[in-house]
Amino acid sequence: MIDEQTWKEVVDRLEKAERVVITTHVNPDGDAIGSEVAVSEILAQKGKQVHIFNHSPTPKLYDFLNGRGWIEHFDASRHEPLLEEADLAIILDISDWARLGEVGKALQKSDVYRICIDHHIVTDGVAQLMVVDRQASCTGEIVFDLAKRVGADISGRLAEALYTCVLTDTGSFRFTNTTPKAHRMAAELIERGVPFLEIYERVYEQNSPGRICLLAEAIRDLHFENGGKIAWFRVTQKMLKRCNASYWETENLPEMPRSIQGVEVTIMFAETAEGFVKVSLRSKGRVSVHDLANKFGGGGHPYAAGARLKGSLDEVVPVILNEAKALFR
Amino acid sequence: MIDEQTWKEVVDRLEKAERVVITTHVNPDGDAIGSEVAVSEILAQKGKQVHIFNHSPTPKLYDFLNGRGWIEHFDASRHEPLLEEADLAIILDISDWARLGEVGKALQKSDVYRICIDHHIVTDGVAQLMVVDRQASCTGEIVFDLAKRVGADISGRLAEALYTCVLTDTGSFRFTNTTPKAHRMAAELIERGVPFLEIYERVYEQNSPGRICLLAEAIRDLHFENGGKIAWFRVTQKMLKRCNASYWETENLPEMPRSIQGVEVTIMFAETAEGFVKVSLRSKGRVSVHDLANKFGGGGHPYAAGARLKGSLDEVVPVILNEAKALFR
């Protein structure tokens, strides 16, 4: 819950600001990009000057939200002067300096007033004003409340951006963070004309032939441990070549074995071109995989974590499997 | 919309009935089984005697809704006498005599009073009282309203059954029939304690190793036509053997190529053991595939249809592809 005093201050700061910069975490997801676009649309309606720049480029998947071309890839020489001129910076979907990348460094050097809007556990006090609700299904849900409080016209781009937040962060209303409020937000946005079919298609139905080929390769390499509770597979450089696929196209692959009866934990071992193995761990929710990733210098969430290990697949796979099996002891 | 007069009569008939039989269409889906369980729970709360019997056996997938074991596979010798004793029959999710199978025949012979609750286009006047709302996302949505009108305690099994209806008929809140009301219904049911994570898992994450192996085989056989607008693949008897899979495990396979960028229509050609080819057509919503299926003696909906053709894959595939390509002319 965000208290009334905090709301009052956010609304006040927003009304008074003239030049606002907006940013989010590295490797932004749908909630991060959606929140940025939503906040920028709210501010544009109020006649404010807005700049959005992120450490990472915008994933192609979310290009459809960037119709105005406002989201830029951070470039110190162009963006640091904008930061100097700005009277407000809004940090979305993250409260961790490290995960703000180069933009975080620039923000720390600047003395612009900062507001952080987020629904994760607070890592750092990245802003003077922290607007955090751990109960919110997504950052977009907080921005939705904000839009109402400032009397924004919630339609068009703004509504689409907000819908993308709640759709993607709840995995189409199925992940554990799906709340009654998330559903009611979706209901309202659909009433306001959001093309929900099209947004689903843009987000979830954009597989490349390379990615679908990798899926087949991954299935053929499926192995099971602990009576089927653990499912694992490898993605080799050879597979990538055979499928004419890029490394980033392995992105959603670790989700695949989730759909198999009885599987609790899935592990993807992806061989990089530089002699590393990227280990991606997913859990259906009964076992935490975060500590396992942490043990090997990685991190993440309880049910989605990862690590990068030096070595070959033959070296890394047995080490990780040993630890994974121990999760069920 | 269902008018007040109709609601009044349904509630009245329900209150007065003592022995109720409930049925639904052949090959019942989540909305059909969910509605049956929901109506039976409402009636059980009122102390009514309830029997549920269907032409088809209950898909294993929905066994979790049948905790009381009330849903039975129709057996004329046992169930026709129950029909004679009943003072009310409730037909759910269908208004087509043919799709009620053997139960439909038994109902037509009996003179029990019938109520039909459905959200599809009415085919036959299968009941004296037709409670039909074409705007409802699912039949369960109408049953949800009914539950409120009769003051049922919407929790436990009843809430789970209703959630299964809306979850499955909207494909987890993404199909074109997803409405603001569907989301608000989900919100209320989650507030009433529905274990939505578990229900999703039970419905969507029960792939067998055989089915996932078939998925890999299908991907390896993917072909594209019309610049990628049509995606098709075959399932041969050999593939089924290699995967140690049964024919029914091909069920959701036609959905797979949907996720590929640019694909509008997908076609699965499945070779049966009896010298037929089952053609399953899916459309993302821009092109209707119903007429194509119809042309070959099949049927279905605009965006999901099918037909069974005598012949080998080599004979059937080119004939159907020719017609499919014409859809884009």
Count of A–B CB contacts within 8 Å? 114
* Long-range residue pairs from B99-102, CB within 8 A, at least 24 positions apart, any chain: B99/B25, B99/B26, B99/B123, B100/B23, B100/B25, B100/B26, B100/B55, B100/B126, B101/B25, B101/B26, B101/B54, B101/B55, B101/B56, B101/B74, B102/B55, B102/B74, B102/B76
Q: Using CB atoms, pick whichever of A178, A212, A259 lies closest to residue B207.
A: A259
pLDDT of residue B255: 85
Burial class (CB in 10 A: 0-12, 13-18, 19+), A5: exposed
Q: How far apart are CA A30 and CA A34, in angstroms?
A: 6
Question: Given a cut of 80, is residue B302 above it in pLDDT?
Answer: yes
Express as a percent the part of chain B with pLDDT over 70. Answer: 100
**Domain coordinates of chain A in residue numbers?**
4-204, 209-326
Least confident of A159-163, A285-289, A308-312: A285-289
Domain A4-204 has CATH 3.40.228.10: no
Average pLDDT for A243-258: 87
Q: How far apart are CA B123 and CA B150, in angstroms?
A: 28
B186 contacts A183? CB cut-off 8 A: yes
Interface of B with A (CB under 8 A): 172-176, 178-181, 183-184, 186-188, 190-191, 196-197, 200-201, 204-209, 212-213, 215-216, 219-220, 222, 224, 257-261, 263, 284-285
pLDDT of residue B5: 98
B212 contacts A216? CB cut-off 8 A: no
Q: Using CB atoms, pick whichever of B190, B219, B284 lies closest to residue A215.
A: B219
CATH architecture assigned to B210-326: Roll (3.10)
How is residue B150 annotated by DSSP?
Answer: T
Its ipTM equals: 0.89
A180 contacts B174? CB cut-off 8 A: no
Give the start-end residues of each E strand in chain B: 19-24, 49-54, 71-73, 88-92, 114-118, 129-132, 223-225, 230-235, 265-271, 276-283, 299-300, 304-310
Express as a percent the part of chain B with pLDDT over 90. Answer: 83
The two three-digit tokens of residue A228, written as one number:
């089927």
Sheet holding B299-300, edge to edge: B223-225, B230-235, B265-271, B276-283, B304-310, B299-300
Give the start-end residues of each E strand in chain A: 19-24, 49-54, 71-73, 88-92, 114-118, 129-132, 223-225, 230-235, 265-271, 276-283, 299-300, 304-310
Please choose, from the candidates B296, B324, B292, the residue with its C-alpha nearest in 3D space to the C-alpha of residue B224: B324
The 10s digit of each residue's pLDDT in A76-124 is 999 999 999 999 999 999 999 999 999 999 999 999 999 999 999 888 8
The 10s digit of each residue's pLDDT in A200-211 is 999 998 888 899
Question: Given a cut of 90, is residue B4 above it in pLDDT?
Answer: yes
Q: Other CB atoms closer than 10 Å to residue A133's CB: what's the count?
A: 16
For the CA atoms of B208, A200, B217, A273, what is the dihedral angle to 10 degrees? -100
B187 contacts A181? CB cut-off 8 A: yes
Average pLDDT for A151-170: 97
Element (H, E) at A191: helix A180-191
Residue A203 CA: distances (Å) to CA of A157, A172, A200, A289: 16, 10, 5, 26
Assign B329 a pLDDT band (cuts: 50, 70, 90).
confident
Q: How far apart are CA A22 and CA A89, in angstroms?
A: 6
The two three-digit tokens of residue B205, written as one number:
């994450």
Q: Using CB atoms, pick whichever of A174, A187, A222 lies closest to residue B183.
A: A187
**C-beta separation of B325 from B226 below 8 A:** yes
CA angle B173, A61, A25 (to 5 degrees): 100
Interface with chain A: mutation pick from B174, B179, B233, B253, highest number of A CBs within 10 Å: B174
Question: Given a cut of 90, is residue B111 above it in pLDDT?
Answer: yes
Fold match flag (B4-204 vs B210-326): no
Interface of A with B (CB under 8 A): 172-176, 178-181, 183-184, 186-188, 190-191, 196-197, 200-201, 204-209, 212-213, 215-216, 219-220, 222, 224, 257-261, 263, 284-285
CB < 8 Å to B191, chain A:
180
Question: Given a cut of 80, is residue B200 above it in pLDDT?
Answer: yes
Sign of CA dihedral A209, A214, A219, A224: negative
Assign A302 a pLDDT band (cuts: 50, 70, 90).
confident
Assign A219 a pLDDT band (cuts: 50, 70, 90).
very high
Instruction: Give the chain A residue nearest B213 (alpha carbons).
Output: A219
Question: Given a cut of 90, is residue B247 above it in pLDDT?
Answer: no
Question: Given a cut of 80, is residue B300 above it in pLDDT?
Answer: no
Q: What is the mean pLDDT of chain B?
A: 94
Average pLDDT for B211-240: 95
B176 contacts A172? CB cut-off 8 A: no
A176 contacts B172? CB cut-off 8 A: no
CA angle B32, B37, B39 (to 5 degrees): 95
**C-beta separation of A62 from A52 below 8 A:** no
Average pLDDT for B92-114: 96
The two three-digit tokens of residue A140, written as one number:
């977009």
B179 contacts A183? CB cut-off 8 A: no
Interface with chain B: mutation pick from A144, A183, A243, A303, highest number of B CBs within 10 Å: A183
**C-beta separation of A91 from A24 below 8 A:** yes
Q: How far apart are CA A164 and CA B78, in angstroms?
A: 52
A216 contacts B261? CB cut-off 8 A: no
Sheet holding A304-310, edge to edge: A223-225, A230-235, A265-271, A276-283, A304-310, A299-300
Question: Given a cut of 80, is residue B259 above it in pLDDT?
Answer: yes
Q: How far apart are CA B99 and CA B316, in angstroms?
A: 27
Q: How far apart are CA B140 and CA B40, in angstroms?
A: 12
Question: Given a cut of 90, is residue B37 above it in pLDDT?
Answer: yes
Interface with chain B: mutation pick from A137, A219, A221, highest number of B CBs within 10 Å: A219
Please choose, from the candidates B285, B25, B64, the residue with its C-alpha nearest in 3D space to the C-alpha of residue B178: B285
Domain A209-326 has CATH 3.10.310.30: yes
Please choose, from the candidates A38, A320, A1, the residue with its C-alpha nearest in 3D space to the C-alpha of residue A161: A38
CB < 8 Å to A184, chain B:
183-184, 187
Assign A284 a pLDDT band (cuts: 50, 70, 90).
confident
Provide the residue type at A212 as one letter. I
A212 contacts B216? CB cut-off 8 A: no
Q: Using CB atoms, pick whichever of B178, B196, B285 lies closest to residue A178.
A: B196
Bridge partner list, B299: B306
Per the model's pLDDT, the better-predicted residue between A329 and B141 turns out to be B141
pLDDT of residue A291: 93
pLDDT of residue B248: 80
A184 contacts B173? CB cut-off 8 A: no
Q: b/e map of A91-124 (b: 16 or more CB within 10 Å)?
A: bbbbbbbebbbbbbbbbeebebbbbbbbbbeeee
**C-beta separation of A53 from A20 below 8 A:** no
Question: Given a cut of 80, is residue A300 above it in pLDDT?
Answer: no
Average pLDDT for B194-210: 92
Min Cα distance A87 → chain B (Å) is 39
Tracing tokens 């009073």 back to the chain, one arrives at: B113
**C-beta separation of B48 from B152 below 8 A:** no
